[in-house]
Amino acid sequence: MKKKTENTAERLKIIPLGGLEQIGMNITAFEYKDSIIVVDCGLSFPEDDMLGVDLVIPDITYLKDNQDKLKGFFITHGHEDHIGAIPYVFKELNVCPIYSTKLTNGLIEHKLEEHKMLTKVKRKVVKYGTHINAGDFRVEFIRTNHSIQDAAALAIYSPAGIIVHTGDFKVDYTPVYGDPIDLQRLGEIGKKGVLALMCDSTNAERPGFTASEKTVGKTIDSIFADNDSSRIIIATFASNVDRVQQIINSADKYGRKVCVEGRSMVNTIETASKLGYLHIPDNTLIDIESLKSYPDEKVVLVTTGSQGESMAALSRMANGTHKKVQIKPGDMIVFSSHPIPGNEKAVSNVINDLTMRGAEIVMQDVHVSGHACAEEIKLIYSLVRPQFSIPVHGEYKHLVAQAKIAESLGWDHDHIKILHSGDVLELGDNYSKIAGHVHTGAIMVDGIGVGDVGNIVLRDRQKLAEDGIIIVVLTLDGASGTVLAGPDIVSRGFVYVRDSEDLMESARAVLADTMDVLQEKNITDWNKIKGDIRDNLSDFVWHETQRRPMIIPIIMEV
């Protein structure tokens, strides 16, 4: 590989606004002069300490500040971490079209319809091999394989050079639906000379190749054959249409009806079936209300909840709160997924609950990843032969793992760029430089509120969750400032008051002494009064309990 040298040619800026050093929230801006295009627009799910938060979306301040340059959003596939933020982003930034393949567009449309935005956002369906002109850019969609159909890599042509962005991918020579990844086209583009490869890093730590999705179909078929007298319940990702297709194929073969449960699962299957990506024999699907009309051995239930999500259908079945399905001894429960890092405990809890109800659990050989392992990544590098390697999609350890793969193939350290969200990478022929940093961050969505929950609110929620709250209420005379009533104490999540009457009486005494001192000094400033109440009560509670609940004084004046 050549060493990096200064070059006066026009340079391209690559600006990841999310999706690095994490799983999810993928969004990257490409900027050349007065043109910006954006690849993907995803969300991430909240961390354990984000109490009450539903979703996390990227901060797009940089895009809002440069709206006049925006030429289009290009979406690689239909997973939530690549399309989930679109309705939120386009409420603030609706100045350009969204380009995507047919199924991806169908899933995006469903989201926009839920947000009553379907007629407000321009969308264009793109076929593989199509080239889209967008300002100074031209973008080509290339067929790849993933755990959802219609996934695409992008070849981004700019005056500074060609960028190949793989999206999430694996090399599957025998996909359940459609054709294998277009390795020939990737090789042809590689011969033209590629400036940089932005390659999926999620499975970069794993050696070898990712197995074909069809291998799961054989396991599913054997589960149906071996459990012909049991009810079968299969939990998988809602978006894995190929997995659902193989379940339907086995159900039809063994004479079982298929019931789909879970809102996201129902929505995805409806969209995929309507667009022709899922083939369901007539009279195979039944609704949840009809489930009791069939004997157990004649049904299979396909459901969400494979990651132990507390409100998902399988979790509610496991804890006995599902209104339509009760787990029985002898039920065969199949987890057709691997726990996402961080979800292991939640999945284990669901499995324990199901086992206590007498269900049999199967987890082995019923899932394959949708991401490329090390040998597949090597294949893509060998075909594309980029000047620069830019690992994307994954935690920091995954990015480093791909960097090591690139080094093993001959790329020198200066030509491998591990970026952080917000970095501005300038690229030209044999030239690269981190030229600055733009504002990025995570916007939290709680209910219908977008961005109204921040670090301060989360800190308060964490404090409430850890030590509870004490509310101090007192009434003051408006003229003299003397105490007319209280101080009274209301406690939640701190101690059980009926078992802690001595503690509460002592706390009231501390508050009474505090008010006596303040009145002796003729202090009437409410801020001073509240501050002394908070400080004195906090010191007392810590001394007695080694806890620091949130203390909120409320003063009423009459």
Residue-averaged pLDDT of the chain: 87
The encoded tokens of residue 75 equal 């979406």
The pLDDT assigned to 54 comes to 67
Mean pLDDT of 272-278: 92
The encoded tokens of residue 272 equal 């995929």
Strands (E) across 292-381 are located at 299-303, 332-335, 360-362
Per residue in 398-432, pLDDT tens? 999 999 999 999 999 999 999 999 999 999 998 99
pLDDT, greater one: 480 or 75 = 75
**What is the C-alpha separation between 348 and 336, in angstroms, rounded?**
14
Q: Residue 323, Cβ neighbours under 10 Å: how many?
A: 7
pLDDT, greater one: 338 or 384 = 384
| For residue 468, pLDDT beyond 90 | no
The set of long-range contacts for 409-415, using a CB threshold of 8 Å and a minimum separation of 24, is 409/378, 409/381, 409/382, 410/1, 411/1, 411/381, 412/1, 412/3, 414/3, 414/4, 415/1, 415/4, 415/387, 415/388, 415/389
Q: Residue 125, Cβ neighbours under 10 Å: how many?
A: 16
| For residue 513, pLDDT beyond 70 | yes
Place of tokens 């690229």: 427
Mean pLDDT of 114-130: 94
**Residue in 78, 366, 77 with CA at minimum distance from that of residue 235:** 366
Contact 221, 399 (CB under 8 A): no
Mean pLDDT of 237-251: 91
Contact 256, 223 (CB under 8 A): no
Mean pLDDT of 525-536: 81
Helix, strand, coil tally for the chain in percent (to 5): 35, 25, 40
Instruction: Give 357's DSSP letter.
Output: T
Pairing of strands 431-437, 131-134: unpaired
Classify 436 in phi/psi space as left (phi over 0), alpha (psi -120 to 50) or beta: left
**Catalytic member of 77, 79, 371, 415:** 371
| For residue 460, pLDDT beyond 80 | no
The pLDDT assigned to 499 comes to 61
Identity of the residue numbered 122:
K
Mean pLDDT of 440-450: 68
**Catalytic member of 40, 150, 182, 200:** 200
The pLDDT assigned to 4 comes to 43
**Max Cα–Cα distance, the chain, nearest Å:** 88
8 pLDDT band, cuts 50/70/90, is very low
Q: Is 200 a catalytic residue?
A: yes
The pLDDT assigned to 448 comes to 53
The pLDDT assigned to 520 comes to 76
Contact 271, 107 (CB under 8 A): yes
Q: Is 226 a catalytic residue?
A: no
Per residue in 145-180, pLDDT tens? 999 999 999 999 999 999 999 999 999 999 998 899
| For residue 5, pLDDT beyond 50 | no
| For residue 492, pLDDT beyond 90 | no
463 pLDDT band, cuts 50/70/90, is low
pTM for the model stands at: 0.81
Mean pLDDT of 503-524: 80
547 pLDDT band, cuts 50/70/90, is confident
The pLDDT assigned to 154 comes to 98
**What is the C-alpha separation between 188 and 209, in angstroms, rounded?**
23
What torsion, rounded to 10 degrees, do the Cα atoms 183, 189, 191, 197 define? -90
The pLDDT assigned to 133 comes to 97
The pLDDT assigned to 455 comes to 61
7 pLDDT band, cuts 50/70/90, is very low
What torsion, rounded to 10 degrees, do the Cα atoms 218, 223, 226, 229 define? -140
Per residue in 16-26, pLDDT tens? 999 887 778 89
